[in-house]
Each structure stands twice: as structure tokens, then as C-alpha cells.
Amino acid sequence: MTTTAPVADARALGLAHYAARAALESVLIRHGLTFRQHITLRSVVVAEAPVEHDALVAQVTGSLKVAAVEARDVVGELVAKGLLTAEATQVRATDAGHALYAEVGAETGKLSARVWSGIPAEDLAAAGRVLALVTERANAELAAMGA
């Protein structure tokens, strides 16, 4: 008896995305963060320098496919929580923001290691190529629709 591997398609991608996101959000909620806040905080923390507010909004808008006003609101939420600070046109992570990101990262790193454990490197490379192509094509479709 032969077993055929499932074909990657939009449904399989969606199921993987939602399962992984739900696992991540189960960690984030314990730390008082939403998914959007985590992605935005990460963008500033990994920059290791102040980030232009408008560039951050554009990055979050592009990554999360949300309206600019929503991205600005998330930045405001993180400032209100004391995780980011806004100075003139720049945003930077506070010590509390760095600490929370590190704490969440340590916890999600363990979770991620369990999820990805044992997947052969060549499978990960192939999946990475396919996902990059799907992302590129979906972004092109969005651009063509004016979204």
C-alpha cells in the first residue's frame, strides 16, 4: 500500500497558518499581547535602533495586510503599555518592551522547536521556496486589485 503525500494548496496553507497562529496566541495572551502588537513590537526590537514611525506603519501594514490606521493604532497601544516610546518621528522599544519580547521569544522558541522538530532540511527548504513564491504571487494579486 502506498501513501501519497498531501498536496500543498490554499487550504493546507490556511490550516497550518491558523494552527500555528493559535499556538502563538496562546502564549501571547498570557503576556497581555495581541498578535498585531507582537508583530509590531518585534519590528522595533529587532531593528536595534529607533525606527521612523511612518516606516514602521508601512512595514506592519505590508506584513499584516491591515490598513495604515490599524497599524498606527497598534503602535499607540504599545506606547500606552510602555513597551514602545515615541519621540518626534521615531519609535523605539523601551527596556520593558525588550524584556517582554525576550520573554515571549523564549517561550515561543520552545513551542516552535517542538512544532518544527524532525522535519528534514530539504523539506523545509522546498516549503520555504513554495511559500515565498505563494507570498510573492498573492502580493502581486493584491497590488493588481489596488488593495
Arithmetic mean of pLDDT, 23-33: 96
What are the tens digits of pLDDT across the range 84-128?
999 999 999 999 999 999 999 999 999 999 999 999 999 999 999
User: Which residues are registered as beta bridge partners of 13?
Assistant: none
Q: Is residue 43 part of a domain?
A: yes
**Axis crossing angle, helix 95-116 with helix 35-45, rounded to the nearest 10:** 110
Whether 5 has a pLDDT exceeding 90, the answer reads no
Evaluate whether residue 132 is within a structural domain: no
Q: What is the pLDDT of residues 63-88, one digit of tens each?
A: 999 999 999 999 999 999 999 999 99
Is residue 118 domain-resident? Answer: no
Residue bearing cell 499607540:
76
Residue 3 has pLDDT above 70, yes or no: no
CB 35 within 8 A of CB 42: no
pTM: 0.86
99 lies in some domain:
yes
CATH number of domain containing 50: 1.10.10.10
State the Cα–Cα distance between residues 103 and 31, nearest whole angstrom.
9
Q: Tell me the three cell numbers of residue 39.
A: 508583530
Q: Is residue 53 assigned to a domain?
A: yes
With respect to residue 134, please indicate whether it lies within any of the assigned structural domains.
no
Number of domains in the chain: 1
Residue 77 belongs to some domain of the structure: yes
The H-or-E segment that residue 91 falls in is strand 90-93
Q: Exposed, middle or buried: residue 121 (CB in 10 Å: 0-12, 13-18, 19+)?
A: exposed
Give residue 74's domain range: 26-106
Residue 42 domain-assigned? yes
